[in-house]
Structure 1
Amino acid sequence: MPTSRPHQRWLFTCVLALTWTPNPAFTKEPADSVAFFENRIRPVLVEHCYECHAADADEIGGSLLLDSSDAMLVGGDSGPAIKPGETDASPLVLAIRYETSEMPPKGKLPDEVIRDFEDWIAAGATDPRDHTSTEMIRRDHIDMEQGRQFWAFQPLDYTEPTGESYEGSRGAIDQFIGQRLLESGIQPNPQSSNEIRLRRLSFDLTGLPPSIELQQRWAADPSWQHWKRIVDEMLESPGFAEQWARHWMDVARYADSNGSDFNATFHEAWRYRDYLVRSIASDQPFDQMIRQQIAGDQLPYESDAERHDNVVATTFLMLGTKMLSERDKTKLELDVVDEQIDTIGRAFLGLTLGCARCHDHKFDPVPTSDYYSLAGIFKSTVTLKGESQRYVSTWNRVPLPTTEEHRTAVREHDIAVLNLKSEIAKAEKALEEAKAGNPDDLHGIVIDDTQAIKTGTWKESTYTKGFVGQGYVHDNNTEKGTSTIRFSAELPADGPYEIRVAFSANTNRASKVPVTIETSNGVKTATINQRKTEIPPFWTSLGTFEFESASPAAVTLSNRDTDGYVIADAVQFLSVDDLHKINHPEDAPAENKEQAAAARARIDAAQQNVASLKKELQELAKNTPPPLPQAMAPTDRPTSKISDSPVHIRGEAKNLGEIVPRGFLQVCSGGEATIPNPRGSGRLDLADWLTDPDHPLVSRVFVNRVWMHLMGEGLVRTVDNFGERGERPTHPELLDYLATDFVRNGWHLKPLIREIVNSAAYHRSSDYNAEGMQADAENRLLWRMHRRRLPAESIRDTMLSAAGILSRTPIYDSMKSHGVLVSANNGNSTAGKITGVASPCRSIYLPVVRGYVPPMMTALDAADPDLLVGRRPTTNVPGQALVLINAPEINDWAQKTADRVVASTEGFEARLDFVYQLCLQRLPSKEDKQLAASFFSDNQQSPDAWQQWVAALFAGTEFRLLD
């Protein structure tokens, strides 16, 4: 992250010491004279600045030299220190005025000192000091031509293999590899067994084990022709698209929530996941997928389906975690842009571009100006838009194509709901008016909350309908024990009075509200359960108490030790006469009876109207049309808001340098890297640049990723870093051959995979070989196949498959049940809400919730969704076996597998064969059979024994490793 250290910021402003003052007897020379500089400017620079800002300083602060005229004009990290003739544009003047940086930091300089420097610069900044060489005063300079000589920035070099190779080679891949092996004198391993090769192929291409039917078919015909047919079958299977979509999801840092400070739900991220599955299933060219993910919203389209995928693909730019509650929105924008540039750099170019945000890249030929050329593109793009709550930003959403019928249905339904809710509001208001009047209209003496004496915090409200007077108050369920409210009355006569308290009941109210009643017989106490009322519509009786007109009559409610909201609306004191009028309305005069009957009729009618309208709303909700589809996707800013970006010095939001035009990386551009006439933000231009067939990096990086997934290690082992700090390719000619062929064949993934898995190198055994290990312990020359850990998803899916419960039905909209926040940001808030590993779906369809990745998947090295993960860590540690033994879901799957085996087969040997084919995709060896016979002994029919055997296989190393 960018830093802001004082000694790196404007250190040149130490030029003016707090103790220095001009000599009052000194006659002021003209500001454009040498004498003015020598008497009023140079002494300050020499005495107070050269220690840090001269060529012989131990460390030059802020990369700024002040010991020559050229040095001040060239400047340091913050750009030129002065601009002769332009006082208000000179950073030095702005700093000592305290208009930008506040320098010196211990106190503002005297006004006369500031005026001297203003006058000197306004007059042209006469400076007679000797010029220092440009080399001396400039910061480290990147030699772009020299940078282009690095292997990764060289054009693709397509070379046909010409050397000899080992017998059994099947094409160019084997010739390139075989030539290196022969030169090194290494004998490669022989071909793996048929069972191992089929298992390897199935997991690599589909992420799933081969079915028992396929195992049997392959065992019956392990011919080369049959192998190629199986490869083609797998490439066309749904499993292939899901497996390879999951690989790219690692690179795209896919997640269904934001994580970070505000774990907001990505309700629409699943659309991007499914776009990947569809695109890979149809073998869409990868260059087109790049164009869609960078600028799909600006691409032409011929159908709604094409427009849908173009827009959804740009979700790629939105998926990174963001500090949504950051109040400095300029900094937030820069951080989002930085994450997007870093992702594009590592995903497509294999370069760590984020380093250039604060300074020129330390190792690769990427100057800061190149970074901000890209930043201008993404600063002209809308990623965040609006707020989900105050200060919390949310992301841009783009409508997706749908039918006119759908839009009409949604529009008409929304209007109907709005109208019906308006009618219900009016009906409830009418009911409220019918049921409850002002305190003056009620029997007895009524004290409203507006007349009560309050201590502590009470919040006024009218949220829950049905109250006395104009509203009620509540304690906001906070600051318990600090709030009381006292209702005091002057009673007209001595005698007993029933006291009733008014409140709106609800399940979130306090169940035991402490009440004190001041009577003529002393203070009495009671409690109220405000989750229900006794006397409709909103009254509860505290009982009858004796009062004297000369004594206090008061009721006090407290929120001490309460377990919910405490509501205070009104208190009613009812005498015997008042109670008689309430309980015996028939004794009232005829006129009063008629009024009461009419009032009751109005209430009944109002209640029936509200109930009828609410039932109508419920019926309307049952027939709600699907919501209009939308994507979390970027758009370009309005034309007036699109602009190039200034360099942000040291990556700081408010420390601005020169403006650089939008463009690309110079080192990867044969000619001019600036976009001459950007189309909108420039994202479409960027997409064209990335997919230019002559680009030296993009096809290399992608082909290397594919090689790594199939062969265990990349030809460049640092798959996300092709720069100076990355590793060099083990077979550069092979890498360029595959990358060139990939582009020439239309950027299609399936032919590339087909060529690799049909090579002899892919079929080699992973067995240990002493001679090979001595000559090439790291297997860089590919004399054997790398032994690999299965990804977490394949391990889980294989257990579900063995249990016979793996569902191949995709899950859509998996976060539908979540609100704005996926959780309340605490450890217990997501219990039972997030679909867990027990679900029988393929792992790719499990929601990826940042901060809540299932422990089982984490233990098995699932990708960290906060990061771009080009190559997952692959560990094989005892903790993984413990997880596989102890996880309740895995024990359940082992039991289901055992039940399946017992129910499907007869006889011990048949069941043992079945178990091994389900779990390890092979038949048991002689040693396996001996060990099983010893374990089962007399328990060959026991489901529990079979469950234990399956669980042991699940926890074994062979289960989670791919030979």
Structure 2
Amino acid sequence: MKARPIYTVLSLFGLISFFAACQSEKQENLVLNGEDQISYNFHIRPILSDKCFACHGPDANKREANLRLDQEESAFEALEESPGKFALVQGDIQKSEVYHRITSQDPNEQMPPPNSNLSLSEEEIALIKGWIEQGAQYEPHWAFVKPEKNLPQSNSEWANNEIDLFIEAKLEAVGLSPNPPAKPHELIKRASLDLTGLPPSIELLDRLANFEGEVSYEEYLDYLLEQETFGEKLAILWMDISRYADSYGYQDDNIRTQWPYRDWVIHAFNENLPYDDFLTWQLAGDLLPNASKEQILATAFNRNHKYTEEGGVIDEEYRIEYVLDKTNTFSKGILGITMECAQCHDHKYDPFSQKEYFELFAFFNNSPEKGYEGDVSISKPAKTPILWIEQEDTEKILSFINHQDTSKLSVSVMGELDETEKRTTYILDRGVYDAPTEPVDPSTPTAIFEFPDQFEKNRLGLASWATHQDNPLTARVFVNLIWQEIFGTGIVKSAGDFGMQGDLPSHPELLDWLAVDFMENDWDIKRLFKLILSSATYQQSAKIQKDHLKIDPENKYLARSPRLRLPAENIQDLVLASSGLLYPEIGGPSVKPYQPAGIWESASSGRGELATYIQDGGKDLYRRGLYNFIKLTVPPPKAIIFDSSNRDRCEVGRGRTNTPLQALVMMNDPMILEASRVLASRLIAEESSSEKAIESAFTRILCRAMTSEEKNLLSAYFEDQVARFENQPDQVFETLNVGEYPLREKDVNSKVAAMMQVIVSLYNLEETITKI
């Protein structure tokens, strides 16, 4: 018998684990909703959405038998094609045609039909049967219901704040207990990485020790939240959402100058601008009364999409593409819904019609921007409408912009056509730019929250609608994003899809409580971070217990702190900071770091300023990963290898893969080798012995003290490398000659080269680039 390939066995094991996890989740949900209670939202809707709504859902063009199972009224009506029969009859499975169809073996009767390649499992059929017997009670989709602030009853001794009450209740329900607290050095590093994206310095580690001295953990959080690096860390998330890039995309992909917008985002987070204002300024800062240049600059959020500079394109086609992008970014990044699915037809799963899509589109359809302003030969670094930033602006209201010379800056921002010039928005047949049908006025999906009559039908009114206390999505979506930033996975795993095809919240009551609490406290972002980081949930150890893996392998119930690899940008930041190479300047233009030769040129039209890659030098090589130049057709390869966004569209979350390419980067990237060389030369010169140098390197990089076993292992490796370089002296300079940081002649010796190898090994430890 032929041996079964190992990957086949692993795949089979993975499938078994997946189905076991699914069954476990169903059973757990049943327990949480009462031993015999079946919830439409948490048990039935996901089944119907996956298996039934394509033919019996919101899309009228694809609907069969005029039956909608997503709406209670339709589901209980008499069937048009079967007089006297009903799809659902409350409490009676014998009279419910749905039950007969899903249990039928007749291909002509069976639902879903065999040719759909969909089928229901025995567990799913049992859930639907039980639901009908219990009265087939429909519920509004959870995400479209205004959140309420209810706390579980508890006498918890473990909880630090309200978050922990929800977490503990769910852990008890699934048979888990929380982990013991993390060690102080783990918390110090964890909080620093979460709030600043940087490792704590040796001095800070020594000063904080066990939080038994002059600084408490709470005071440490306050200190981190006041650092300017807080804005840089959080800006990475918002750059992904706002699809920020330094080029226009498409074939020519020439340079653009949107970086003052990035400076504004960093500034806004550091100043703790309330989230409702943060959104309003970005959506409609130009429409505010007596709008300042700062408020207008914020509207660059809407203009970060791709632009074409290719001759021969149709202006209106691309202008429509730009408005579509604005609409989709708003719906995904701010509302957490997949409105783009309704561009060409009614949404197949969510209660959004194509008409409602273009009503939302209409808010963005009256900007005076053009689809085509000329080809790359007459390219401009910003497209109409443009905000011009003078030197005096950067000395006054825009002082946060890091601009070193006296030239004017240009940024693409929003503007609004005069009443006499305003466009009429039409529903576009199949979403095609040149196929207008009926006209529509600006409005929002009624299933979410009715657009109030008192709001102006422009982007400012849309911002007011989005941040209204009755809007069920905006606050939920943002607190979920922050939860995802900290714990790796949101309370709703599908952070960009709160609709019926999205994941159900693991802790729905906690999500609602956080959303309401966030709004009640003036949309205070820093307070939200501190609340989460102050919880006992956050402060748990990351140690994995056997029962964790058995009951909750994904750790969605948080019986332990998650182990998460750092984002691509923060891996760079950690290496630069721990080596002493980091240039800490805040803001300013993007920089071009080390990059393999030929990558840009192979993906370029050969025209424009970015046809050839010109690497920056000096201190610019040592800036944070946030400032790496993003060329849309060729994003920074190292960052992409570590799962960063390519920025060509709005993204609200990143994957975390584990590939051999990542190990190759960590072992061979010039920046990592250069950082290792620079740190090695400093430690050999400053420390009294190689043991002290190794100890210092270890603490700087891993933010903890070595164990005796680690000390012996690293010391032996160092001595081994010293012997190697002494036996092969020709390799010393070859090893050390990496990067542009000056290599002093006195540092070209076997000890520095050996210490460099030790430090490279430390940077390649899994623990180094993992938040534990």
Same structural fold, with TM-score higher than 0.5 when normalized by the shorter chain = yes
1:833 shift after superposition: 5.0
Aligned to 1:368: 354
Aligned to 1:296: 285
Give the drift of 1:885: 0.8
Q: Quick one: structure 1 residues 811 and 376, their matched pair in 2 at CA, closer, same or farther if it must change by over 3 Å?
A: closer
* Structure 1 CA distance for aligned equivalents of residues 679 and 505 of structure 2: 44
Choose the corresponding residue for 2:343, options 357, 380, 399. 357
User: Is 1:160 the counterpart of 2:145 in the alignment?
Assistant: no
Whole-Å separation in 2 of the counterparts to 1:342 and 1:845? 26
How far apart in 2 are the matches of 1:797 and 1:960?
Answer: 10
Q: Distance in 1 between matches of 2:514 and 2:154?
A: 17
Superposition deviation, residue 183 in structure 1: 2.3
Which residue pairs with 1:209 in the alignment?
199
How many angstroms apart in 2 are the aligned matches of 1:836 and 1:318? 32
1:244 corresponding residue in structure 2: 234
Whole-angstrom CA distance in 2 between matches of 1:308 and 1:277? 16
Query: Cα 1:404–1:783, aligned 2, differ >3 Å: closer, same or farther?
Result: closer
Structure 2: unaligned runs, 5 residues or longer = 1-59, 64-136, 396-403, 593-599, 724-749
Deviations 1:898-934 (A, max 9, x none): 1121122112332122011111111111221121132
- The answer on 1:958 being equivalent to 2:767 is yes
Distance in 2 (CA, whole Å) between partners of 1:875 and 1:370 is: 37
Q: C-alpha deviations, 1:40-97, integer Å up to 9, x for none?
A: xxxxxxxxxxxxxxxxxxxxxx9599xxxxxxxxxxxxxxxxxxxxxxxxxxxxxxxx
Query: Are 2:591 and 2:620, in contact at CA under 8 Å, matched by a contact in 1?
Result: no
CA distance in 2, matches of 1:404, 1:884: 44
Q: CA deviation at 1:886?
A: 1.3
Q: Partners of 2:498 and 2:369 in 1: how far apart?
A: 28
Q: 2:266 aligns with which of 277, 300, 314?
A: 277
* 1:466 corresponding residue in structure 2: none
| 1:628-667 → structure 2 map (5 Å cutoff) | 628-667=408-447
Letter of the 2:374 counterpart: S
Which AA in structure 1 matches 2:345? H
Structure 1, 647-656 or 388-397: larger mean CA deviation: 388-397
Give 1:392 shift: 8.8
Q: Check 1:656–1:774 CA distance in 2 against 1; reply closer, same or farther (3 A cut).
A: same
Tell me the secondary structure at the aligned position of residue 384 of structure 1: coil
Report the CA distance between 1:149 and its aligned residue. 0.9
Query: CA separation of 1:878/1:890 partners in 2, compared to 1, >3 Å: closer, same or farther?
Result: same
Contact 1:294 1:687 in 2 (8 A): yes
Deviation at 1:403, TM superposition (A): 8.0
- Give the match's secondary structure for 2:537: helix
- Residue 389 of structure 1 and its aligned partner are, at CA, apart by 3.2
In the alignment, the residues of structure 2 paired with residue 276 and residue 948 of structure 1 have an alpha-carbon distance, to the nearest angstrom, of 39
Distance apart, 1:163 and its partner CA? 3.0
The corresponding residue for 1:924 is 706
Shift, 1:860, TM fit: 1.7
Q: Secondary structure at the match of 2:216?
A: helix
Instruction: Report the Cα distance in structure 2 between the residues aligned to 1:388 and 1:717, rounded to whole angstroms.
Output: 42
Partner of 1:714: 490
Counterpart Cα distance in 2 of 1:239 and 1:204 = 11
**Cα RMSD between the aligned structures?**
3.0
| Distance change in 2, residues 1:757/1:849 (3 Å) | same
Matched, 1:337 2:299: no
Shift of 1:808: 0.8
Q: Which residue of 2 aligns with 1:150?
A: 141
- Measured after TM superposition, the shift of residue 719 of structure 1 is 0.8
Give the aligned partner of residue 397 of structure 1: 385
Aligned mates of 2:478, 2:612 — CA distance in 1: 37
**Partner residue, 2:664:** 882
1:837–1:846: 8 Å Cα contact kept in structure 2?
no
Is the contact between residue 187 and residue 539 of structure 2 (CA under 8 Å) also seen in structure 1? Answer: yes
SS of residue matched to 1:667 = coil
Q: 1:262: Cα distance to partner? A: 2.9
Specify whether residues 815 and 327 from structure 1 end up closer, same or farther in structure 2 by C-alpha distance, changes over 3 A only: farther
Quick one: which of 290, 299, 311 aligns to 1:314?
A: 299
The 1:222/1:858 distance shift into structure 2, 3 A limit, reads farther
Q: Is the contact made by 1:292 and 1:310 (CA closer than 8 Å) also made in structure 2?
A: yes
1:196 paired with 2:5, answer no
Q: Is the 8 A contact 2:370 2:384 kept in 1?
A: yes
TM-score, length-scaled by structure 2: 0.72
| Offset, 1:373 | 0.7
Which AA in structure 2 matches 1:157? E
What amino acid is aligned across from residue 745 of structure 1 in structure 2?
N
Matched, 1:764 2:540: yes
Q: Which residue does the alignment assign to 2:105?
A: none
Shift in Å, 1:289:
0.8
How many angstroms does 1:276 deviate by?
0.5
- Could you tell me whether the CA contact under 8 Å between 2:428 and 2:437 is conserved in 1? yes
- Counterpart of 1:245, as a letter, is A
In structure 2, do the counterparts of structure 1 residues 393 and 379 end up closer, same or farther at CA, with 3 Å as the change threshold? Answer: farther
Aligned partners of 1:253 and 1:865 also within 8 Å: yes
Q: Which residue of 2 aligns with 1:937?
A: 719
Change (3 A) 1:781 1:376: same
The residue number in structure 1 matching 2:217 is 227
Amino acid aligned to 2:144: F
Pairs within 5 Å for 1:402-421 = 402=390
Matched, 1:184 2:174: yes
Give structure 1 stretches of 5+ with no counterpart.
1-61, 66-145, 408-623
Change (3 A) 1:852 1:841: same
Identity %: 30
Deviation (angstroms), 1:241: 1.1
**Residues in 2 aligned to 1:757 and 1:279: alpha-carbon distance in whole angstroms:** 21
Answer whether contact 2:589 2:627 (CA < 8 A) is retained: no
Q: Output the amino acid matched with 2:582.
A: L
Contact persistence 1:377–1:683 (CA under 8 A): yes
Change (3 A) 1:400 1:693: farther
Q: 1:281 to 1:385 in 2, by over 3 A?
A: same
1:893 aligns with 2:675: yes
Q: Which amino acid aligns with 1:149?
A: P
Return the letter of the residue paired with 2:280.
Answer: R
**Residue 209 of structure 2 aligns to a residue in which SS?**
helix
Contact 1:807 1:842 (8 Å CA) reproduced: yes
2:407 matched to 1:627? yes
In structure 1, distance between residues paired with 2:412 and 2:375: 18
- Cα displacement string for residues 621-646 of structure 1 (whole angstroms, at most 9, x for unaligned residues): xxx99334432112112322214411
**The one of 756, 764, 771 aligned to 1:947:** 756
- The corresponding residue for 1:912 is 694
- TM-aligned CA deviation for residue 763 of structure 1: 1.0
Label 1:837 to 1:332 Cα distance change in 2 as closer, same or farther (>3 A): farther
C-alpha displacement of 1:150: 0.2
Distance (whole Å) between structure 2 residues aligned to residue 837 and residue 366 of structure 1: 51
Match of 1:347 in 2: 333
Aligned to 1:382: 368
Structure with greater strand share of residues? 1
> AA paired with 1:812?
G
Q: Could you give the per-residue CA deviations for residues 280-326 of structure 1, whole angstroms, max 9, x where no partner exists?
A: 1110001001001110111134xxxx712211111111111234436
Question: Is the contact between residue 332 and residue 338 of structure 2 (CA under 8 Å) also seen in structure 1?
Answer: yes
Contact 1:148-1:668 within 8 A present in 2 as well: no
SS at match of 1:958: coil
Larger Rg: 1
Q: Superposition pairs for residues 512-523 of structure 1, below 5 Å?
A: none
Which moves more between the two structures, 181-190 or 156-165?
156-165
> Residues of 2 paired with 1:393 and 1:851: CA distance?
17
Q: Distance in 2 between matches of 1:849 and 1:755?
A: 37
Q: Any residues of structure 2 matched to 1:826-837 within 5 Å, and which?
A: 826=606, 829-832=611-614
Which amino acid in the other structure matches residue 960 of structure 1?
I
Q: What SS class does the counterpart of residue 631 from structure 1 fall into?
A: strand
Whether 1:795 and 2:571 are equivalent positions in the alignment is yes
**By how many angstroms is 1:713 displaced?**
1.2
Match of 1:256 among 241, 246, 253: 246
Size of the alignment, in residue pairs? 592
